[in-house]
Amino acid sequence: MQDDLFGDAAPKPGPTTSVAAERCAEAPAPSVRRARSGQVAACAPDDALQSLATALPERLRLGTSSWTYPGWKGLVWEGEHSDAQLSKQGLAVYAQHPLMRTVSIDRSFYRPLTASQYERYASQVPDDFRFVVKAPSVVTDALVRSEDGRGREPNAAFLSPELARSECVEPALQGLGHKLGALVFQLSPLPLAQLDRMPALLARLRAMLLALPSLAPLAPDGVIAVEVRDPEWLTPDFAAVLREAGATYCLGLHAKMPPLKDQLPILRALWPSPLVCRWNLNPVHGPYGYEEAERLYTPYDRLHHPDRETRAALAAVIAGVTGRGQNALVTISNHAEGCAPLTVRGVAQEVAKQQAG
């Protein structure tokens, strides 16, 4: 495989900058449509946004992690709305945005969802929309945690094939059908004692993945992906387990993980395979910086730390994968740069620029 498939030959980006707000420079304020009282209405996209959407590869689906953020007023929807209101009405409006063709359902990580809950989500989006679903922590966390997130004791259900199937794969497949894009098993940070037993962990992961039903009959585009929070996973043996099970690696852009370019060997080892990427946390906050990012970035209405280097590198990977006939699902958190819709737009602009070049 060519070394430039995943962007090694990408043009050098400018330096990463930190600004208080980049909103006006990157996203002209769109016009809006008036909504009836109590209803959420979509912002009417400006011409530049519409043109940008048409310039992107058809196989690329960009989106965000969840959609219930009042601070996205003027970017995704019109007017002031509560989290609860956006939880009920926001998805259908979000899916009208020209760039948003996927979304990560993160709440499933904290509590398994039912097939009927997934079905309600699927009913709110267009036929071409695809969901990224996080598997529940009862399967993906090696520890049982207290309310403050501290590990209390080993989790006997960690990587359980039975729970992975019954609490994640089957309800998501039944509820989302062909709109299921990726099921992501995000393996939480491991205690040091387990990191020293990687062969045993790989055996457990292999057993779980091989026991899962195929997604293809109901979700032809669907893929099972594994995301990790410890660099120790990133070995040829890990890639071999994923390949044997027909799964892929979820490219995790997170402060606990190496930079994007250092994760590319796993993607190369799995090629050809769809790209699943979740851009989670800006490295300026350090590996445990979610609370700091939340304090700084709320209400998530502007960019605070635009990371142009990561945008350019990610765009090169997207171009390499989609240009060779594979799908790409990329979801972005508000914690990546401060405002997920603006980061999506920034990545889209970089992809379009590289396409044109």
Domains with residue ranges and CATH for the chain: 3-356 (3.20.20.410)
Dihedral Cα 108, 234, 288, 348, nearest 10 deg: -70
Specify the pLDDT at position 20: 36
At position 35, the amino acid (one-letter code) is A
The answer to whether the peptide bond before residue 299 is cis (omega within 30 degrees of 0) is yes
CB atoms within 10 A of CB 260: 22
Residue-level pLDDT at 4: 58
Beta pairing, strands 60-65 & 328-332:
parallel
Which contacts of 154-162 are long-range, i.e. CB under 8 A and separated by 24 or more positions?
Answer: 158/204, 159/201, 159/204, 159/205, 159/207, 159/208, 160/208, 161/207, 161/208, 161/211, 161/212, 162/211
Q: Hey, what amino acid is at 207? A: A
CA distance 96 to 77: 10
Chunked into runs of 10 residues, the chain (357 residues) has average pLDDT values of 51 38 40 58 94 97 97 96 95 98 96 97 98 97 79 89 98 98 96 91 98 97 97 97 98 96 98 98 92 96 97 97 97 98 98 89
Answer whether 68's CB lies under 8 Å from 82's CB.
no
